[in-house]
């Protein structure tokens, strides 16, 4: 099995009430691929600029992420600057510079084109669609997006959504996309666009899975120390699709629920420290023991 992701490969400047970093490795495709790398072979598609060094590449390659489809082009790497108040569920964007993504035209290698699973992480919807079109054989395709693209590229985004199986999106953004304040109705409206599954991410409150014949939700893993929520959604998606690609023998209600568990666990590790710091040195044993704890705290029977 193998999994391909397109999305931002970035330098992030982030301020939270618990610290700050002026320039660190980030981007939706980076957070996604690090999380998914615990379960399967992940290929990242996207451009980086001259300022992207071996040091950043080593973070990805250190986790076995396949970087053959990362294209080095003249110019600067995508840059995002944001901050959070005490409500860590809301990211405030201060600056977005597409830089090398501005006129990037993806040309995927044969290996990336023939991946079984595909994730269109948060980036311009036109780019998501170009990659989708090149991966005709993908059995299951996920998509994430954000308010910027809902505001500036809505038509293309709706078209991209119609071409995927599962949308993973923030609860505020799914309401914005559909104009529907009620989450269940908003999820139904997204399914009407084409996908058969919708995951509404609710920050520290967890995530909810809507399918035509089912509903499942998990809380966020309760943590006492959260330093930087940047990339939590992408790490969730990486745990979710990584598990489905690498370890599930089918995609059905049961495996989707387990995938929600792995997504929740990976997101929880990601937010404990800044950027990729925590997931960069995470182990599979730590993931499994947190999954056991999550299972225990969401089970109705106490075992007594």
Which residues here bind ligand AMP, judged by CB under 6 A? 8, 10, 12, 26-28, 80, 91, 96, 122-123, 146, 148, 230-234
- Give the integer Cα–Cα distance in Å for 290 and 270: 13
Q: Check if the beta carbon of residue 9 is closer than 8 Å to that of residue 29.
A: yes
Q: Minimum Å distance from CB 260 to ligand AMP?
A: 16
* Backbone phi, psi, residue 52, to 5°: -85, 115
Q: Minimum Å distance from CB 147 to ligand AMP?
A: 9
Residue whose CB is less far from ligand AMP, 2 or 96 = 96
- The CA–CA distances, whole Å, from 203 to 166, 206, 228, 244, 258 equal 18, 6, 12, 22, 19
Q: Check if the beta carbon of residue 260 is closer than 8 Å to that of residue 199.
A: yes
Q: Minimum Å distance from CB 139 to ligand AMP?
A: 24
Residue whose CB is less far from ligand AMP, 114 or 147 = 147
Residue whose CB is less far from ligand AMP, 108 or 169 = 169
Q: Cα 26 from chain centroid?
A: 12
Q: Check if the beta carbon of residue 236 is closer than 8 Å to that of residue 219.
A: no
Residue whose CB is less far from ligand AMP, 16 or 178 = 16
Q: Minimum Å distance from CB 183 to ligand AMP?
A: 18
Nearest-CB residue to ligand AMP?
Answer: 26
Helices (H) and strands (E) in the chain, counts: 12, 13
Residue whose CB is less far from ligand AMP, 178 or 235 = 235
Q: Minimum Å distance from CB 32 to ligand AMP?
A: 8
């Amino acid at each position: 099995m193998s999994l391909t992701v397109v999305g931002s490969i970035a330098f992030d400047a982030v301020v939270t009430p618990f610290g700050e970093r002026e320039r660190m490795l980030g981007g939706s495709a980076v957070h996604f691929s690090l999380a998914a790398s615990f379960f399967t072979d992940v290929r990242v598609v996207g451009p980086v600029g001259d300022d992207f060094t071996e040091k950043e590449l080593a973070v990805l390659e250190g986790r076995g992420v396949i970087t053959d489809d990362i294209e080095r082009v003249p110019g600067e790497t995508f840059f995002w600057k944001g901050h959070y108040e005490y409500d860590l569920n809301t990211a405030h964007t201060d600056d977005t510079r597409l830089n090398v993504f501005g006129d990037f035209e993806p040309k995927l290698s044969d290996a990336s084109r023939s991946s079984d699973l595909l994730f269109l992480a948060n980036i311009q919807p036109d780019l998501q669609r170009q990659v989708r079109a090149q991966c005709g054989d993908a059995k299951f395709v996920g998509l994430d997006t954000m308010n910027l693209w809902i505001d500036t590229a809505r038509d293309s985004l709706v078209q991209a959504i119609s071409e995927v199986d599962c949308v993973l999106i923030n609860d505020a953004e799914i309401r914005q996309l559909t104009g529907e304040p009620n989450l269940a109705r908003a999820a139904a409206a997204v399914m009407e666009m084409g996908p058969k599954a919708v995951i509404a991410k609710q920050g520290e409150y967890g995530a909810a899975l809507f399918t035509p014949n089912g509903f499942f939700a998990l809380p966020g893993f309760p943590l006492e120390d959260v330093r930087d929520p940047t990339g939590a959604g992408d790490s969730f998606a990486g745990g979710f699709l990584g598990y489905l690609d690498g370890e599930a023998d089918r995609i059905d209600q049961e495996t989707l629920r387990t995938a929600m568990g792995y997504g929740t666990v990976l997101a929880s590790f990601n937010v404990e420290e800044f950027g990729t710091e925590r997931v960069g040195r995470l182990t599979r044993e730590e993931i499994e023991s947190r999954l056991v704890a999550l299972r225990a705290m969401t089970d109705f029977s106490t075992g007594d």
